Structure 1
Amino acid sequence: MSTETSPTNAAESSRWRRKAILAASAAVAMVALVGCKADVISYDLPAESARYTFQTETDGVTTAWEYTSDRPTEPGTPTSQPCIADVVLKETGPCRPEPLIFLRYDLGLGLDNTAEADRFHPITVTGYYQDRLGTPPAVTELRAEASFDGGKVWRPVSTEAAGKNTFTARIKHPKRDQASGGVALRITATDRAGNTVEQTIPQAYRLR
């Protein structure tokens, strides 16, 4: 399921409208996690700069983006990687991907996809963009929260920068019987342009 909303002023009629293309944001973001196949989503946006929200849910993993988008003045994709609008919809004119932040995880798990209980456990989260976005802004902030009771209570997790667009979070695991349903994660990232993403994984891993 996916929804895309725009602010009121962006919904007014415009003399020039543009076609926005998203390669199924949730599917692209979570393909490594759940093996989804990406679909092509197309919708019209006004030419004026406006703030948008795009939300998806894939196998219980929810992702919500807030981003600013406006009419491109020049192509934002290399000739070796044509815009999906040109290939699929035969659109003409400048084209570029939307500035959505995607998240890549290194959870540091064992071969059985579990982590040790009753101790601090580091995970690494990296923000990235579609390759065809020419000069993406830097991811400047990442907040992490963990839940051990199925999302009823969320606990803040300390994070620190660990390289370009990369952050390390140290999660204090409870004893195994205090997290029988596993560990849920909620990650929020913000880039220099003010674009954000919030992703919630109901069961990222279990404890041993």
Structure 2
Amino acid sequence: MNTRVPKVRRRKRILVGCAAAAMLALSGCRATADLVSYDLPAQSARYTFETTTNGATTVWNYTSAKPAKNDAPEHNPCLGTVLGDNMAACRPEPLIFLRYDLDLAVDNTAKAGDTHEIKITGYYQERLGTLPKVTSLKTEVSFDGGTTWRHTSVEKDGKNTFTTEIKHPKREQAAKGVALRITATDSEGNTVKQTLPTAYKLR
């Protein structure tokens, strides 16, 4: 996706994202991910990027500034460099991605009426510069398809990793499964909010 910005000095930026938000949410991006580039004004500004796939919604708010040099890793080069039509400096955007360890059974379920622990790790696209740190993470859970949400307690569990405990109701009280809504913030003020309408089912 290329967004044209008329009469403004442009800079090339690059975003590596997974084809499906659900795969991105649960397993993280891979080296074979899709490559998307777009142009932004040269001056620093705040941006919102949103994607929805198979009901899973991710909204990023981040600050993007003109790169002082080409910060794109060799294995994720600038799209203009690959195509040979733009030699402008580029680098990945500072988007927070989320990786989940849901600790589920082989059928992707968890036990009803029990306390269940999950781990959530924030990470970034590979860059040549210093990466921000995920400083806070908030989790919310819903058992009625997203009509009502309740906060769960969160504890930091290592670098960019957080643990939360979810008290499961009886199976019939969560017929639509367990929905998760995660909000994370990093040391540069970038945020991500990800909603998984059915993260897993109860058994």
TM-score (norm: length of structure 1): 0.85
Q: Which moved more, 1:125-134 or 1:144-153?
A: 125-134
Equivalent of 2:13, from 20, 23, 39?
20
- Once the two structures are superposed, the pairs formed by residues 41-190 of structure 1 within 5 Å of their partners are 41-79=36-74, 81-88=76-83, 90-132=85-127, 134-190=129-185
Instruction: Give the match for residue 7 of structure 1.
Output: none
Shift of 1:32: 7.1
Which is worse superposed, 29-38 or 55-64?
Answer: 29-38
Question: Partners in 1 of 2:18 and 2:43 — Cα distance?
Answer: 23
For 2:28 and 2:18, how far apart are their aligned partners in 1? 13
1:93-141 deviation per Cα after TM superposition (whole angstroms, max 9, x unaligned): 3221000000000001011111111121110000000113531100000
> Where does structure 2 lack aligned partners over 5 or more consecutive residues?
none
User: When the two structures are aligned, how many residues end up with a matched partner?
Assistant: 199
**CA–CA distance in 1 between the matches of 2:80 and 2:59?**
23
In the other structure, the counterpart of 1:202 is 197
Measure the CA separation in 1 of the matches of 2:78 and 2:110.
41
Q: Could you say what secondary structure the match of 1:112 adopts?
A: coil
Contact preservation (8 Å) 2:28, 2:97: no
> 8 Å contact 1:99–1:133 — kept in the other structure?
no
Q: CA deviation at 1:82?
A: 2.8
Q: Structure 2 vs 1, CA of residues 79 and 22 (structure 1 numbering), >3 Å: closer, same or farther?
A: closer
TM-score by length of 2: 0.87
Instruction: Give the distance between the partners of 1:176 and 1:88, measured in 2 at CA.
Output: 53
- On the 8 A contact 1:27/1:38 being kept in 2, the answer is no
RMSD, matched Cα: 2.6
CA contact (8 A) 2:102 2:117 kept: yes
- The amino acid that maps onto 1:67 is Y
Structure 1 unpaired stretches of 5+:
5-10
CA contact (8 A) 2:141 2:149 kept: yes
- Letter paired with 1:19: K
